[in-house]
Chains A and B, each alone.
Chain A
Amino acid sequence: MSDDKFKLLEERKTRYLAAMNLEKPDKVPIRLMLSEFSAKHAGYTFQEIYYELDKNIDCVNKLLNDFDLDTTGGAPSLWWASLHDAVGAKYLKFAGRELDVNTQFQYHEEEYMLAEDYDAFIENPTEWILNTYMPRIHKEFAEPGSYRANVALIKGGIGMLTQLGANQKAWGTWAPEYGGVPTFTAFSKAPFDTLADTLRGLSGIMMDLYQRPEKVKAAIEALIPHNIFYGMATSGGEMEFPLFIPLHRGAFPFLNPKQWKEFYWPSLKKVIEAFWANGKRTLFYAEGNWTPYLESIAELPEKSIVFHVDMTDMAQAKKILGGRFCISGNVPNTMLAFGKPDEVKEYVKRLIDEYAADGGFIIDAAAVILADAKEENIRALIEAAREYGVY
């Protein structure tokens, strides 16, 4: 590690951690979740970054070379499509397989868990997932115990380890050679989202809330220890950086306020409190609009989350959560795609003027940045943050 890269790494890390601790760093930290944008920037097709681990990783090398980012989310593609091909995943669609080479990967939502599966799920969630759910969502596991399914399980396991190993190795260069600081080091989900996103699907869960509310509650209860364990296991003992929870179906207007308080919030609160009790902070990545729920979110222990603003009312978020949690966000992604650099600069300046003065603030886009964002707008965002974001 060269001295200047080491210095850069330390500066950025100190800046990022200070903001999350509600302190005033030297500058407002810049955190961008640059996903498919980075494939475009590096000159790769989406198919290449989904299927080739080295190209997926190389995107970040190029980003770190070209942009002054205090923290970065890691390789743009969360998924290694080759692994999902090896097990015949039905729920993901990738560029170069079902989609054009430059089309965003997508999740295909279905009622993969049926209403009659609740009892077996509640009895033993992981056993049900392995024996019933995995064969349903993967063509290669269709006949559990068969030669084909056994081979696929081995391939899947090897594939997962290969991908994790490649990412781990990449951080071994991003940090010392580029001064790259990880945005998060662990992952989990809200128990309601685990059930509603990937198991029951939106229509399924919405019917359940009226037809079998007790089963929904019992399933969520069964997921709490599972999601806590998953978060702590993925953090692997790393406690400085936050754990990432992308929050989905607790956004307005999925659930009415009574349902939100009854079904969404208590279990999520327990999960976040458990992380905090273990010394791990949560990056509360509130996708969509969470304005009606800010008062409840304020109940969480001080500094236990970073509240990310997508479409939540920023002024309300600052008023209710400011001084209690670090706040991040919310340069609109449509502005990054369709706006002009001047507009972006103006927006960033206003965010800093109005919300960053007392520290505890991180500049970021509203959501994960896809390939529609223009490079000149990303540059304008960073320039403005550096120009106006000095304490």
Chain B
Amino acid sequence: MDCIAFYALAAVTLVSAAAVVRLRNVLHSALFLGLSLSGVAGLFASLGADFLFAAQILIYVSGIAVLVLFVVLLAGRHSELHLRQTNKQWLPALAIAGTALWALSRVARPFSGLLAPADGQPTTRVIGGLLMGDYAVPFELISLILIAALIGAIVFTGVEAE
């Protein structure tokens, strides 16, 4: 059961990620991005990280993917469907990605046969305690970053008064 769930989620994540990268229509790419992020949310759930599962759905699937979709709809043109959407550097890019994959597999090899030691515990309460305790300063800094991003987005997209 565990096995089937993992392989199904991994297949959904990776296939839709490949679709994000390869599809010609950017709108379809944005939709598949949402599906891929949902797959990652399912993998979080299979890891027992319940709060991350909820946060992934809230922030990525219903926030970032929808935002990307809006920008695709606002900044897209019909003629783009007939243009090539990738540049000519696919061979070097493939080499770089392959090298990264090889290096990652080398790094990950010592951890290969590790099984999960125990059943997962609910994490939400512990995370809340840590955010108010040990990680209080980074938590406040994150809110500062979010305010800065908010103001920056308004400044960049705002229309100047003529």
Q: Do A and B bind each other?
A: no
- A residues within 8 Å of B by Cβ? none
Binding site for A on B (CB under 8 A): none
